[in-house]
Structures are given as C-alpha cells and as structure tokens.
Structure 1
Amino acid sequence: MDGDSSLVGAVAESTDPETRATFERRVREQAERIRADIRSGRLDTDEFAVGMELEGYVVDDARRLARVPEAVFDRADCGKELGVHNFEVNSAATTFDAAGIADQADRIRANVDAAAAALDDVDLAPVLDAMWTIPPAEGTDAYLGAIEEREGVVVAENMRHHPRYVALDNEILERSGGTITLDVPGASLAYPTILMESLATSIQPHLQIPDTDAFPRYFNLAIRTMGPVLSLTSNAPFLPADCYDDDPAVIDATPHELRIPVFEGSINADAPRGEGKVRFPEDLERATDVVDRVAADETYAPVLADDDADPDASPYRSTLREYDHKRGVHWRWVRGVVGGQPVGTEPDGASLRIEYRPLPTQPTVRDTVATQVLVVGLLRGLGVANHPLTELPWTAARDCFYDVVDDGPDADLAWVTADGDRTADPETVYDELFAYARRGLRDAGLAPDVADATLAPIERRRDGTVPSTWKKARVREAVDDGATLPDAIERMQRDYIERAGGETVFADW
C-alpha cells in the first residue's frame, strides 16, 4: 500500500464503527486487568525512579524554522513529534538516588549533543525553547495552513505523515467544524489542521511511585505544585513574529505561557478554559482512578494494535496497546502512566508513574536537569514528610495554575505551609518549594552540596527573572529603540537562539 492509500485507509479504519467498538471493548478488558494488577500489588516496585522527555525544534542557518531530515532521527536516536520541525530526546529511567540523578544529567546531555551533531552535518541546529517565533521562509500562516485533501481526508503538509497523527487531526477537525482557532492578545489564528499545536514544546519529568496505595497522594501533591513550579520556568510569551501587527501593547498583555492556550485551543474547540479534553487534572482517591479515567475519557482516533507493535514497549505494556493508545490522548497537565518496566527488575515487571506535563522546554541542559530535579525532589520530599499541601482546595490550585499561565512570576500563588496555613506570599512558597525539594533529594542520598548545585539554576530565578520575563524585556527594549513589534520579536529570538543550548545557565544571561 502506498503512502497516500495508507493515510487515507488509516483514517477510514479509525472512523469505522466496528473499529471503534472493538477498540472500546479491548480498552475495557485491558483496564480491568490493570485494576486487578494494582489491587494485587503487581505494580508496586522496590524504589522511586525518574526519567525525562525533552522536546525542541530545529532551525536553519538563518535561524528560521526548518524540517528535520529523516536521516537525523536514525543517527541521533531521537523521536519524532507532530510537526516535521520537532524532535524529542528521552532519558531512560534510572533509580532515584545520587547515581541515578547524575546518570540522568549525563544521558540528557549526551542525547542533546547527539541530536546537535547529526543536525550540524546538514547545516541545521536544535533549539531548546518552548515556542518557535521565527517562521519559515513562507511565513507562519502558509506553513501551518498548508493542507491537501486526499479522498476527503485532510493531510497537513508539515505534519508527520503518520497514520495516528492524520487520523487524530481529522477527528478533531470534524469535532471543531473544520477549523482550529486561537484568540490571544494581538493575534487571532485559524487553520484547517491541528498543526498549530506544534508551535509549543515542553519537558516532562517522570516519577515512578513504588507504593501504588500512595500514588493518589503524590498525584494530588503534583497538581498543587504545578503553578509555583511553572512560575519559575515560564518560557513562551510570544507566537511567531508574523502573527502580530505592530502593537507594542501585546508585550504586556500576552501570557507568559502561551503553550497552554495553544495546546488547549488546538484540541478543545470552543470548550471554556480549564474544560475540554486538554485540561487541569482532577484529584485522585484511589490508584485505580487513573485507569478509570482513561477508560471513561472520550475516545479520539482509535487504532487497533494488531499490526502496530511497539518495539520499545515493555512486555507488560505490549499487552495493553489499545489502553496505552487511549492514555496517549488522555491529555491532562499531570497524568498517570501504567506499565513501564521498573529499573533493575525482572523483564515482566510493571510500574505506575507520574508524568508531569505543564513545563516548557528550558534554555539549557543544566536548566532542564535543575527543573527535573526540583520536580521529583519536591514531590518525594512533600510525600515522605506528609506535608499538608493536599489541604489546598483543588479549585485554588487550578486557579493558581492558570494565573501563572497569564502572569508568570507575578501571578498570585496558592500554597498551604507545613504548619497548615494558607499563603500566597511568593517568598514563603519558594522557601518551602526548595526546602522540600532538598528533603526529597536528601532522602534519595544526594549530598547537600550536590543538591544545592543542581537546584541553583532554578533557585536563582526567585527574583522573578525567568525566561518569559527575559523575552518580554528584550522585545520591549527593541521596540523602545524603534523596532516594530514583529522585528523586535525576531531580534529577541535570534539572541535567545545564540545563547540557548550552551553551558551558560539562564540565570547568568
């Protein structure tokens, strides 16, 4: 079957009622097996473990967005994402101890370096950034809006032509009336594809929880840390420069984290903020709630796994492929992942872990490692100390998160202290944030000086200077010097690209 027929056939199969019915039946059966395994203790593990996913995009010699050649993925062993300009590198899971944390840093650096070397050979470069803002030569509208119809199936030119992506794109388009829209300060976008989602890139720390009975507590703690951690890491205040007219008011009005409205807007159609398929997650009462919510979530673009084996899946996950597919489109800003093989166990082992998804890609590997260590150390520290943060109302945590999306480090934070007091004072929140991260790292065996040095690139941002504020300030300076807003954004972005990926952490920019 040729490529065109394969894509068209995949969409047709995905929309077939019989496919959907079979898919849903298999998800129910697989979900029931997982529930039984959680209850029996099969997903309990010996210890905490950590991992990381890091996404970026690629530019050419002119610093404009560029397509990643297929050969680069083979040579650099990095993964593909929705857009042809995207790449992803992963660090395989390690034990959450001093050696494992050091290994994580080495693996992330090695994987980024391998991608950079492979791209350099074809005169391209990776960018560690949360949103591309210098468009390709044809312009953002032409790039994101380029589609063709093949036997009634929409195929976006600059989307990876993987059947899963194309089927998903067509289902969401149908649900959205054929157009994906985004309205943010200074820009109104509308495209006949979900490719707008590929504007944004992120990092996703993972934390394996050894005791599944404790999983809900760690998950609910994660929800309540999202706003404060995002306030230290926000990095996506601008869309591509050619999306804007020359209106300097955009600089102050634009959210610090446009990734969030871009992703939610790409998928959720007209759902109100905080609702729809991409949203802030609900609290858990039991570990099996993770499974129940995936099973009950609305099915998008079902795929039967009969001829779609995943060579990277663990033996356990290879038996849950329909469930795993549905979990992949269960978009929440924190979610539970079932079935990964625990570190150092028998080949048929399985686990339950937290995937922490709200954070933007950071400017350097050291900043990325610091963010990963902050998240996993904080969750472990809060959990082992039985910190009362879960007493913070869920609505307050949700509102804090979206306030940070808008206002970055100037947002109203929400926290409950170790003494049980409600606070919005940033100094108090950050004091506890880093104190309990150190507690978690100490329990993992990290020496205090190692923990301090690893956390320093993020802790030094407590003064409110984070990547999004740096970007806004650079754009403001350029506009004050006489540049138009689009030119100022491009000027800022070129400066960012020259600094990003190097050895100088953001706090020293």
Structure 2
Amino acid sequence: MGEEVDAQEFTGADRTRHREKVRRCLDVFERMLRESAFDTDDPMTGLEVELNLVDDAGDPALRNAEALEAIANPDFQTELGQFNIEMNSPPVTLRDEGLTGFEEGLRRSLNEAERRSSEVGAHLVMIGILPTLDAAHLSIDAISSNPRYRLLSEQVLRARGEDISIDIGGVDVLRTTADSVLPEAACTSTQLHVQTTPERFAAYWNASQAIAAVQLALAANSPYLLGKQLWRETRVPLFEQATDTRSDELKAQGVRPRVWFGEGWITSVFDLFEENVRYFPALLPVTDDEDPLTVLEAGGTPNLSELRLHNGTIWRWNRPVYDIAGGRPHLRVENRVLPAGPTVVDTVANAAFYFGVVRTLAESERPLWSQMSFSAAEENFHVAARDGVDAEIYWPGVGRVRATELVLRRLLPMAYDGLAAWGVERSEAEQYLGIIEGRCLGGTNGAEWFVRQMAEREDMDRYDALRAVLAGYREGMHANVPVHTW
C-alpha cells in the first residue's frame, strides 16, 4: 500500500503546499531523465504476493497483527484488512535459475510463515478474493491498525462525498454499499516488477498493457464475492469500484478513476507521472523538507517523496515506479494485473510468461501497440476479467481469438524467446511455461476449478459449500502442484 503515513488532519494550506512540492518533484524528475545515471547495468525482476488469513473452518481470521508478530520476518508486512498480509520476495536476475529461486524462496518462506501463523489460529491462503468473506468482514472495524489505512479510507470517502457503491453483475448480481475502502481489502494480488532503462520504459509499459488481458484470462482466480458468483476475476471490478473517489456527476464529466487502465500508449515514463499530477488531486498531501533540486545539483539522488506517495494512491494496473537502491535511482514497471495463487508454482509460471512475453514485445522492431488501439487493449482487459479462460479478445493480425488459442499459437513462442533473452535456460523455461501450456490445453485456471467444484455442491448451503471447496483449494495450494492438474 506504499509509504507509511501518520494519522493527521490536512488543511487547505497543506494541500496547496503539497501540490507545489509535487510539481517541483515532477520538474526535477524530468531533468533526471535527461541527465542522471539510472541503475540499468543488470536489470532485476521482483515479485510480491498478498495473502489472506483464515481460521480452521476457512472463515476470515482478523489476526494480521498477531500473525505478523508470530512470523517475525520483515519480508511479511501488514495490508489493508486485518485478514490480509503481504510477502515481498527479494529481487533477482532471471539468469542462473532465477525463476527456480523465486519458487524455492517463496515456498520456503510461506511454509515457515504458515507454521508460525497457524500457532495463533491464522492460516495463509493465496487466492484473488477470499470466497468466505461476508459483509461484516468488509466493515471499518476490520481495518488494519496502521494509521495510513484509516487515513486513506477517510480521504477517499471525503473526496467522494458519499458511500462507495459496489455493483457487479455475473452469474449472480451483487449490489451493496460501503462506508470505507475495506472492500478493496478483498482484492489480493500478485505483483510483478521488471526493471528497465528510462529509454525502454515506455516499450515495457506499453507491452504490459497489451498483454494484460491475456494474463487475466490465464490466471483468473476470483469468482466469488460475498457468497455471489460474479466475474471469473471479480477482483478487477471490485478494486475499480472500491477506491472510486468520483460521484456519478464527476463520472459523467469525464473525471478519471484512481484505479485506471490508462487512456493511451506512452512515449516516456514521464507521461505517466505527469498524468498523475495533472488529473489527480492528492489523497495524502504529506510534504517533507527535502528540496529535490538542491539535492540533485549537489550530486545526490532526490527521494521525490511527494511524487512517489502520490503515485502510490493512483492504482494503475501497470504502475510506473521510481525507486532508489544503493544511492542510485532506477525505474520499474509494476505489473498489478494478476490475482494471488493458486499455488507457488502457478505463480512463478505466471511470472515466467509475463517476463518472457513482455521482453519479446518490448524489444520488437515493430511494436505491437502500433498495430492496436489502446481502447481495444482496455476492452480486452475487462472481457478477460469477466470470462477468464474462456475469453475471446482482439489481437492484431488475427482479429477476435480465444485467449488460450492465442497463447498456444503465438505467445508461448514469444515467452520462450524472451526468457532466453533474459538468460533463462531452455529446461527451466520449459518447466514453467509447460504449466501455462497445460492450463490452456485443459481450459482450467483457479477460477474455473473453483466454479466446477461449487457446481458439484449445488444442494449445499452456499457458504458451507464455499468453505468445503476452500478446504480442498488449500490442500492443492500446499501440495504445490499446478491447478490444472488438481
């Protein structure tokens, strides 16, 4: 959820001072892109996973503070809901068995975290939306103790001026309201990071946008919310609605949403940060004492804290990241498309597919996005979220095609080529991309498996069925075998 923020009240003067500072940061960032030496020597990749906590029955366990104390590992951090935690995997280069390292490190850390957190009655579950949530779990009482979360919720509701409305239609229909952003806590994701040069950032971001729909179709894992069967990746419309600061009138006026696919292909990373400043008022107008221009002209690397905090409250599905490591600035694309789960090996397979395809497309001499409208990419994204593995999307040179067929015929070869360019050995690539191939051939991802299991329990009470299927899901998750083989 970004930088830590203390509980506080903001005045009009705070907002004016913050706006001026953000614009100063943006000017300095533009100059840095022209003049500074960004860290691009050996690009890294990274991975974060958000997790749910459940009790022995499979119901949400509102115990993240106790679980984190028991886990006692700085790689695990708090998240918005008391039934959430997040795990950060150390960044790696993909050569020298980086993908295998991701899998082994994640599995080792999660096993140990599960062992420790289970001692306080909280078990870990990797899934896009915990299906056993009910309305009480999404009330303000379930928010984590970190002051940032309550402050963020207050600012979203204040900007909106009314309760948040959730309206999602699928097999069932869900219409409800919320007096906080807690419904966002139901959305647990996997976030992939790819470091790139300033010169190549636009190509990697555009490529990430172009393939976002395919990622969702392959990996959808959020079919149930509050007892309702909705989209295969219900996390997408839920997240878009749960943090929407716009009233109906502002929507009609064309005000942009804060959970945003975007509105066009870009030519520079600066385009995205400039859009942030131009379109979105600050939710958390916290201002520090650093003068970024003075730091830069003295030969240092400015933190650009206000620009980064503001960026953290605009939830693009592919987010630009400016960060500093070892005193040097670097840029990353943060790919936020994927849900969590179902297993560690599925997660790493999803990562292998993304890292491979995005590398091939970004380095292509004829960019895919020059052949495809941005609106088509956005429409693809929502179609894939709704239909999952059965989604049909538009692709240049092909027209409308089933996403799984597109993967088998065109994108898997790109993924192999891209992983080879990253330095991944063919045998390691086959280990993970073979899972993607099997998923396509069997037409089964996490969402599809869960829906089929629920269909076998139609005569049961809906929540009893959800608990029963979740128990089987947890068994498969801990076995760490790909979901299409369950």
Provide, for residues 406-448 of structure 1, a one-character-per-residue CA deviation record: whole Å limited to 9, x for no partner. Answer: 11122221223xxx55452542343222111111111122221
What pairs up with 1:396-411 in 2 under 5 angstroms? 396-411=376-391
Look up the match of 1:384: 363
Of 324, 336, 349, the match for 2:308: 324
Look up the match of 2:118: 120
Look up the match of 2:83: 85
C-alpha distance in 2 between matches for 1:71 and 1:474: 32
Structure 1 residues 456-465 or 353-362, which shifts more? 456-465
C-alpha distance in 2 between matches for 1:307 and 1:36: 20
Provide, for residues 166-198 of structure 1, a one-character-per-residue CA deviation record: whole Å limited to 9, x for no partner. Answer: 222112212333311212233222121110111
Of 219, 233, 243, the match for 2:219: 233
Look up the match of 2:151: 167
Look up the match of 1:142: 136
1:46 paired with 2:44, answer no
1:291 paired with 2:273, answer yes
Aligned alpha-carbon RMSD (Å): 2.5
SS of match in other structure, 2:203: helix
C-alpha distance in 2 between matches for 1:382 and 1:94: 21
1:366 paired with 2:345, answer yes
SS of match in other structure, 1:10: coil
Residue type matched to 1:445 in 2?
G
Look up the match of 1:194: 181
Measured after TM superposition, the shift of residue 129 of structure 1 is: 0.8
Look up the match of 1:395: 375
**Would the alpha carbon gap of residues 323 and 100 (structure 1) be closer, same or farther in structure 2, given more than 3 Å must change?**
same
SS of match in other structure, 1:98: coil
Question: Percent identity at matched positions?
Answer: 27
Measured after TM superposition, the shift of residue 134 of structure 1 is: 1.5
Contact 2:80 2:185 (8 Å CA) reproduced: yes
Measured after TM superposition, the shift of residue 30 of structure 1 is: 1.5
C-alpha distance in 1 between matches for 2:162 and 2:234: 23
C-alpha distance in 2 between matches for 1:458 and 1:192: 40
Residue type matched to 2:428 in 1?
V
Look up the match of 1:495: 472
1:213 paired with 2:205, answer no
**Would the alpha carbon gap of residues 387 and 369 (structure 1) be closer, same or farther in structure 2, given more than 3 Å must change?**
farther
C-alpha distance in 2 between matches for 1:277 and 1:361: 22
Look up the match of 1:412: 392
Measured after TM superposition, the shift of residue 275 of structure 1 is: 5.0
Look up the match of 1:24: 19
Look up the match of 2:293: none
Look up the match of 1:312: none
C-alpha distance in 1 between matches for 2:465 and 2:21: 52
Of 256, 265, 283, the match for 1:301: 283
Of 434, 444, 464, the match for 2:412: 434
Look up the match of 1:350: 329
Measured after TM superposition, the shift of residue 297 of structure 1 is: 3.7
Measured after TM superposition, the shift of residue 316 of structure 1 is: 7.8
SS of match in other structure, 2:444: coil
SS of match in other structure, 1:265: helix
Contact 2:51 2:124 (8 Å CA) reproduced: yes
Look up the match of 2:295: none
SS of match in other structure, 2:221: coil
1:260 paired with 2:242, answer no
Residue type matched to 1:433 in 2?
L
Look up the match of 1:507: 484
1:337 paired with 2:321, answer yes
Contact 1:132 1:240 (8 Å CA) reproduced: no
Contact 1:461 1:507 (8 Å CA) reproduced: yes
C-alpha distance in 2 between matches for 1:208 and 1:19: 34
C-alpha distance in 1 between matches for 2:145 and 2:287: 18
The alignment's TM-score, normalised by the length of structure 2, stands at 0.88
SS of match in other structure, 2:315: coil
Contact 1:90 1:108 (8 Å CA) reproduced: no
1:65 paired with 2:60, answer yes
Provide, for residues 300-350 of structure 1, a one-character-per-residue CA deviation record: whole Å limited to 9, x for no partner. Answer: 432425499xxxxxx988722111110101111111101242xxxxx2111
Contact 1:389 1:415 (8 Å CA) reproduced: no
**Would the alpha carbon gap of residues 131 and 428 (structure 1) be closer, same or farther in structure 2, given more than 3 Å must change?**
closer
1:129 paired with 2:118, answer no
Look up the match of 1:279: 260
Contact 1:316 1:350 (8 Å CA) reproduced: no
1:179 paired with 2:155, answer no
Q: Structure 1: state its 5+ residue gaps.
A: 1-6, 146-155, 245-250, 309-314, 342-346
Structure 1 residues 459-468 or 317-326, which shifts more? 317-326
**Would the alpha carbon gap of residues 30 and 305 (structure 1) be closer, same or farther in structure 2, given more than 3 Å must change?**
same
Contact 1:384 1:440 (8 Å CA) reproduced: no
Contact 2:449 2:483 (8 Å CA) reproduced: no
Residue type matched to 2:159 in 1?
R
**Would the alpha carbon gap of residues 466 and 101 (structure 1) be closer, same or farther in structure 2, given more than 3 Å must change?**
closer
Residue type matched to 1:489 in 2?
L
**Matched residues, number:** 459
Of 79, 96, 112, the match for 2:94: 96
Contact 1:197 1:263 (8 Å CA) reproduced: yes
The alignment's TM-score, normalised by the length of structure 1, stands at 0.84
**Would the alpha carbon gap of residues 69 and 302 (structure 1) be closer, same or farther in structure 2, given more than 3 Å must change?**
closer
Provide, for residues 200-221 of structure 1, a one-character-per-residue CA deviation record: whole Å limited to 9, x for no partner. Answer: 1000111001x31121111111
Residue type matched to 1:60 in 2?
D
